[in-house]
Amino acid sequence: MESLRYLNLSHAGFGGLIPPQLGNLSNLHYLNLGGPIPVHLQNLTSLRHLDLTGNTLNSSIPDWLYTFSHLEFLNLGNNNLQGTISSSIRNLTSAICIDLSYNELEGEVPRSLGNLCNLREIRLAGNKWSQEISEIFQSLSGYVSNGLEILELFSAQLSRQLTDELGQFKNLAVLCLGFNSISGPIPWSIGNLSSLRSLNLMNNQINGTLPQSFGQLSKLDNLNIKSNVLEGVVFEVHFCQFNEIDKTFCISKPTDFRSKKQLDPSFSTQLFTFEIMEFRAKISLWLLSQKHLKYLDISNTRVSDVVPPLFWNLSSQFVYLNLYHNQIYGEIPNIPMILSTSSMFDMSSNHFNGLLPYISSNVSFLDLSDNLLSGSISHFLCYKMNESKQMSYLNLGKNFLSGEIIGCWMKWQNLFALNLGSNNLLGSIPTSVGSLIYLQSLNLYNNKFFGTLPSSLKNCKNLVTLDIGKNQFVRSIPSWIGLRFSSLVILSLHSNNFYGYIPENLCSLTSLQILDLSNNKLFGSIPRCVNNFIAMATNNNSNGPLFLFEQPIGYALSMLLDSALLVVKGKVLEYSTTLLLVKILKSMSSLTFLSHLNLSNNNLSGKIPLSTQLQSLSASCFIGNKLCGAPLIGNCPTSDVKPNVEIQRSKDFGGPEVDWIYVSVAVGFVVGFWVVLGPLLLNKQWRIVYFEFLDYLGYKLWGVVAQIW
């Protein structure tokens, strides 16, 4: 055993009882250990690779660990380690990779770390350094700066400005500084990082413009600068002068955004009185020179520009493109057919206009919602019908799309989520929608669809959310909704023309959390079985989404239960981040966690059941019906109280409750039994006549059957 070189005990389940004989393995080079660090581990001075990740050690880094001069790979991530990093870390002279990420370490990154000339990877994310970023760069300005390839300081409580010392890491391939408080502009020296492939500066306070030196980052394939205050590259500011003839005369000159002065000294401002009308941050031209860019996230960066045509030529190399929440405008050209498998495009919440583009069959995620897109959807759906689509998420909601949805859904069978809400689409739902057998979310809210729901929709039995509110659907609510969609969490049918009774089969939806049937033409009573909606009577303390799609850059987006428009207290409200916590029913009194009830504008009748919940709600939740009782003004007349709404009971002299329906049934059975069978049992002559009559009927019946045969 002493000659053992490789040992993996990460899943051995010792429960902290690691045998002391482990310290006798003097020739051990690789150790992956689960559980607390045993003291006798200090004897393994020949270790080259030590992995103690994810053990929740709740201690400081032991001093003897710094004596492992042969150690090349040290991984202590995710351990709740506390305290500081000792300057003795300089003794790890063979170290190639040091991973201390996601602990509770604090203080300062020791300058002695910069003396480790073999170090290639430093991962210190998720700690409490509370340092200026320039101090980190100074600490690593020694020998390590020449060979460092990966520097991860994600969510490390760093502050102040990036400095030109960033340019010293010429071999740096991955730089991750996201989720800090770094401010100021990006230094010009970033262009010196000629080996940089991945740059993450998201969620900081970086401002100013993107330096033109970005164009020198020829190997960059992953860029994330979202949620900063970058202005981009400002190419022009529009100036206008009032003119008596043509009212306005506008010219454009190159401008420095910060000073709002022209950069061209030959342009005289004394000739005219100028007024700044608007300025627009532009998409940097250096992007057009990037030949290896695969992951680009410039969401929420206040870009206001038309996308240059040359930029769309780069889309064939994108695996992930996120332009979300900017002010980008213009038309989207057809996305090339030559794309990487499972490409993802998020261009939502911008000002894109024109028609929907033709989309490559390799796109798996497409979000074009909240734009100004118009025209038909047919060419988009039916393009390349000989190819199966890989699309799993499609969001075209909040646009100006029009026309009918024709039956080209057979090749879209991989869809998990489909959102066409808030457009001008019309017509009936084609039966081919039933081909979407994996569909979990269907949103057709606020369109002009009419007719009935196709029975083929039964095939979509995995639905979790179904929102067809604010359309013109007619007839009764299909009873098969309650039988086929057992996983349904959200069902919104409000503001349609559904009429008739509420089907009792809806009570089978035990996972239902939101049910909205308001503003229809329903009548009759509320089914008594609605107390089967147990999900509405259960506290849910979860803050996370129900369903997640992993993106290749490593973070998750909730897709299915992203938002819903619900009628609450007579108002249409949109829930997004808190949607998972919402519980709404057209309900009854037995649900003790009921937060809101809306039965308005139907044709329901009878008395509102008595409970502390229902009587505390607003009367507006019950208007437009034939209901009576609190919280409505006035009492119910006796003639208006219907037995199918609430079973009438009485009390007999303060004793237990008596249900007279069951008493009546019992009395009726006894009376009927003795009236019919009593005389036959007591009178022999009547019995003889009765059985002779039965024999005669049997004989006649046999004769009729014989003639037929």
Task: State the CB neighbour count (10 A cutoff) for residue 691.
Answer: 11
Q: Mapped to the 3 state alphabet, what secondary structure does 387-414 carry?
A: CCCCCCEEECCCCEEEEECCCCCCCCCC
The model carries a pTM of 0.62
Question: Could you give the C-alpha distances from 299 to 197, 311, 320, 366, 591, in angstroms and in order?
Answer: 19, 16, 12, 15, 43
Give CA–CA dist 475/451, Å, rounded: 8
What are the residue ranges spanned by the domains of the chain? Answer: 237-279, 418-640
| Residue 378 near residue 403 (C-beta atoms within 8 A) | yes
Residue 562: HSE in the Cβ half-sphere, 13 Å Cα cutoff: 21
- Residue 194 identity: S
**292-341 pLDDT per residue, tens:** 778 888 888 778 888 888 888 777 788 888 899 989 999 998 887 666 66
Q: In 51-132, which residue ranges form alpha helices assigned H by DSSP?
A: none
A 10 A CB-CB count for 209 gives 18
**Per-residue pLDDT at 243:** 37
Of 404, 403, 423, 523, which Cα lies nearest the Cα of 470? 423
What ranges in 314-442 are assigned the alpha helix state H?
A: 378-381
Spatial CA neighbour of 579 closest among 594, 566, 598, 567: 566
- What is 418-640's CATH number? 3.80.10.10
CA distance 74 to 102: 14
242 Cα distance to chain centroid: 49
Q: Are strands 198-200 and 6-9 parallel, antiparallel or unpaired?
A: unpaired
Q: Which two tokens stand for residue 127?
A: 């700690």
Which residue ranges in the chain fall short of pLDDT 50?
Answer: 233-280, 541-560, 569, 577-578, 580-581, 583-585, 587-595, 612, 640-658, 705, 708-709
The pLDDT tens digits for 376-424 are 999 999 988 888 889 999 999 999 999 998 888 999 999 999 999 999 9
Handedness of CA 245, 250, 251, 253 (dihedral sign): positive
* Residue listed under structure tokens 């170090």: 119
